[in-house]
Amino acid sequence: MKVLVTIKRVIDYHVKIRVKADQSGVDLANVKMAANPFCEIAVEEAVRMKEKGWVSEVVAVSVGPAAAQEQLRAALALGADRAVLVQADDFPEPLTVARLLASLCEREQPGLVLLGKQSIDTDNNQVGQMLAALNGWPQATFASHIERENDELLVTREVDGGLQTLALALPAVVTTDLRLNEPRYASLPNIMKAKQKPLETLTADALGVTPRVHSQLLKVTPPPVRQAGIKVADVAELVDKLKHEAKVI
């Protein structure tokens, strides 16, 4: 079985973002970029599946700018066999990304697509579900544990009340939650070897997909700032303030 695993290039987790003064978006110039953390978990899981002998090939895919090659090379260094970059200069909307991935699925015929549950920039949490719909495949979102049983995948999902386990017929789409695994670091020899692994670049055209616009970003503003609070000296003062000033207890 082949696994497709997706990676998005996003602003690094640790960066404090800045909203542009003209409200057109978030300033991405000269900001450190990285792989979306949920995607790293997806890559790790795909590589572990290969190590267990469940899968024969791991294909890392990114939809994004040419610079996303950097994140694909990192995935190759972690154990992906080859990579595909679907080049898109703007940030396509989730449905367009899903349509591109669906077209790629038709070409690659994977048994499983692993994606992060959401990207930490747009916080949409949509692409995996949309891809499953377009392919007509079952989905398991927010996965915190994956096992294989006969021809099915047993996926434990993190839901609001606790955990839920589903069995999926393959092919299927699974999106990863934080506790699925702890991603490894690439070793220097593997980073060197990754440079030799194949990385193919495609366009939306080549995949027969015409990007469409479903929404218009009108403005981006900073969030409202909270009023600075006060420090209290001890518990008695805290309780007094909560009772008589804030009136919450």
Partner 1 sequence: MTTLVIAEHDAEGLKPASLHALAAAARLDGETDLLVMGQGCRAAAEAGTALGVRQVLLADEAGYAHQLAEPCAALVTSLAGDYSHLLAPATTFGKNLMPRVAALLDVGMVADIIAIEAEDTFVRPIYAGNAIATVRSLDPIKVLTIRATAFEAVTAGPDPAPVVELAHPAEPGGSRFVTDALAESARPELTAARVVISGGRGLGSKENFALLERLADKLGAAVGASRAAVDAGFAANDMQVGQTGKIVAPELYIAVGLSGAIQHLAGMKDSRVIVAINKDGEAPIFQVADYGLVADLFDVLPELERQLAP
Can you give the length of the chain in residues? 249
28 touches partner 1 (CB under 8 A): no
* Token duo for residue 156: 């434990």
Determine the Cα–Cα distance for residues 141 and 126; give it in Å rounded to an integer: 10
For the window 165-194, what string marks contact with partner 1 as x by the rule CB under 8 A?
xxxxx--x----xxx---------------
The interface region with partner 1, picked from 14-22, 57-65, 70-78, 187-195 by CB under 8 A, is 14-22
208, containing H or E segment: none
Rounded to whole angstroms, how far apart are CA atoms 231 and 11?
Answer: 34
Would you call 150 exposed, middle or buried from its count of C-beta atoms within 10 A (0-12, 13-18, 19+)?
exposed
Residue with tokens 């990285």: 34
Q: Which amino acid is at 160?
A: D
The footprint of partner 1 on residues 200-229 (CB under 8 A) is 213-223, 226-229
Interaction of residue 63 with partner 1, rule CB under 8 A: no
Q: In this chain, which of 1, 26, 28, 33 binds partner 1, going by CB under 8 A?
A: 26
Total residues contacting partner 1 by CB under 8 A comes to 80
Between CA 128 and CA 107 the distance in angstroms is 18
Q: Is 124 in the site for partner 1 (CB under 8 A)?
A: yes
150 binds partner 1 (CB under 8 A): no
Q: Site residues for partner 1, window 82-111 (CB under 8 A)?
A: 93-95, 98
Listed ranges 1-9, 69-77, 107-115, 126-134: which one lies at the site for partner 1 (CB under 8 A): 126-134
139 binds partner 1 (CB under 8 A): yes
**Minimum CB separation from partner 1 for residue 174, in Å?**
11
Supply the DSSP symbol for 226.
P
User: Which one of 41, 137, 181, 207 is in contact with partner 1 (CB under 8 A)?
Assistant: 137
- Judging by DSSP bridges, how do beta strands 172-176 and 112-116 pair with one another? parallel
| Residue 126 lies near partner 1 (rule: CB under 8 A) | yes
**Binding residue for partner 1, selected from 28, 33, 120, 191, defined by CB under 8 A:** 120
| CA–CA dist 163, 239 (Å, integer) | 37
Nearest to residue 200, comparing CAs of 122, 57, 104? 104
Minimal distance, residue 184 CB to partner 1, in Å: 17
52/38 Cα distance (integer angstroms): 21
242 near partner 1 (CB under 8 A):
yes
Q: Which residue, 73 or 157, is less far from partner 1 as judged by CB? A: 157
